[in-house]
Structure 1
């Protein structure tokens, strides 16, 4: 069966009751995808009004209860809380006796592997780290987007098959990440996805400032092509004034950003330096052009404004 196909629930007799601790954007969507595979959501915990609305939309008729009650009712528990809250939550649940022997405990943190669940493991729980490498909206569209979504998976060897099966049932594709590599794995994803959102938002703001009526329509084709080229070709896809060594153009950019968006200058300079380093390393930026460019990047507009005019 392809990872893109949802299994027929009638062909999968070992169905589990599912609980969600933390009804943020991720938990209800994963529980809804497991429901499509034939599992049965039975309990959700959530505090904020937004989390309650998400649970009502994606898991209608599933009761909202305290976290300990979620564990009492469910055989498979999704711990979908913020990274910094996860260790304390796991310790608290284990110390209060909420964890049952044989209970599957799944967290969705990218930062942590399975060891963060050690308190639950000592109580007899079965630990799985299943991190969907996708951004979530908190709406039903997330369930559809899980089709083909890679999951960063870390689990004890004896639970490998269980972890893979759950990911595939959610429509995803398992990618095994070693326990000690989880922080690096998560940093890589944050660098690419989270910072991309910041860059795009800043770019749209600057285009509006420049008088562009529909920045999203202008950026869409450009960014789509840039992303596709980068995924296909890596550093060979680098283009623009930094990769070409156009020091005067870069200086002009910095000057305009200081006037109109000073909060964007440091980010522009940092990304331009990283781009220059990669372009040099891969032979795209000629060494004879790099000196002036790196001087602009080191000093802002000092000594380069004359070239820009």
Structure 2
């Protein structure tokens, strides 16, 4: 199943992720119909200037593709709440960006005829246009029913990412891997920069930049190539 032409895209969630995904898809030729208010409306407006701010139900009603980018704990209730209000439409694409959920969390929308898609771009979002460049070198985990999986893959490509299929039962393990990589890296850098600051290094982040970057690059290269020699 494939779709052609421009989609009207609505965004539920104006945090760091939703506006960037919207901007990436707008750059691929789609139109943004609206966005909900969020934690930083000024930042969202800078990424998506001129996009109307609407409530979630109105965003849903106006859009052929709805991007749901809300905190993990809010996603199930939001999807079911819109379903109870009759918001989801037959044939509408509904895409969430949470790493831990597959497409099953969108069942209330699917039961009303919407097409459920899970796409998680594997980057650390800042909520600024810097992220658009990062998407161009990123992978994205995609999960969807087999008949509509090509749609999820195509949207990931339009975001700039290389899609990788993750099975529904494997999403929790995938999310754990993402959290481990993100949180461990951040924690180690914070610990190291604290130690350097304690011995008088004025710019510990800058001091460690080349070291951390090259070390991580070597580790990633070794992980990708099992025949690569170990780092010293």
Which residue number corresponds to residue 46 of structure 1? 37
Q: Distance in 2 between matches of 1:115 and 1:45?
A: 23
Matches within 5 A, 1:16-165: 16-48=7-39, 50=40, 52-165=41-154
Q: Distance in 1 between matches of 2:212 and 2:180?
A: 17
2:210 to 202, 218, 221: 221
Q: Distance in 1 between matches of 2:170 and 2:129?
A: 31
Does the Cα contact within 8 Å between 2:15 and 2:38 map onto a contact in 1? no
- Tell me, what secondary structure is at the counterpart of 1:32? helix
Q: Distance in 2 between matches of 1:116 and 1:13?
A: 26
Aligned length: 226
Following superposition, which runs of at least 4 residues in structure 1 exceed 6 angstroms of deviation?
none
Taking structure 2 as the reference length, the TM-score comes to 0.93
Q: Distance in 2 between matches of 1:54 and 1:128?
A: 26
Task: Deviation per CA, 1:209-263: give whole Å up to 9, x if none.
Answer: 1222221232112212211221122496466xxxxxxxxxxxxxxxxxxxxxxxx
The structure that has the greater radius of gyration is: 1
How far apart are residue 182 of structure 1 and its match?
0.3
Does the Cα contact within 8 Å between 2:93 and 2:115 map onto a contact in 1? yes
Matches within 5 A, 1:181-192: 181-192=170-181
Does the Cα contact within 8 Å between 2:103 and 2:117 map onto a contact in 1? yes
Task: Deviation per CA, 1:89-129: give whole Å up to 9, x if none.
Answer: 11101111110111100000000000000111101110000
Q: Structure 1's 144 and 232: CA in aligned 2 closer, same or farther, altered over 3 A?
A: closer
Does the Cα contact within 8 Å between 1:226 and 1:237 map onto a contact in 2? no
If asked which structure has higher relative contact order (CA below 8 Å, sep 6+), I would say: 2
Unaligned regions of 5+ residues in structure 2, if any? none
Q: Distance in 2 between matches of 1:124 and 1:172?
A: 27
Taking structure 1 as the reference length, the TM-score comes to 0.70
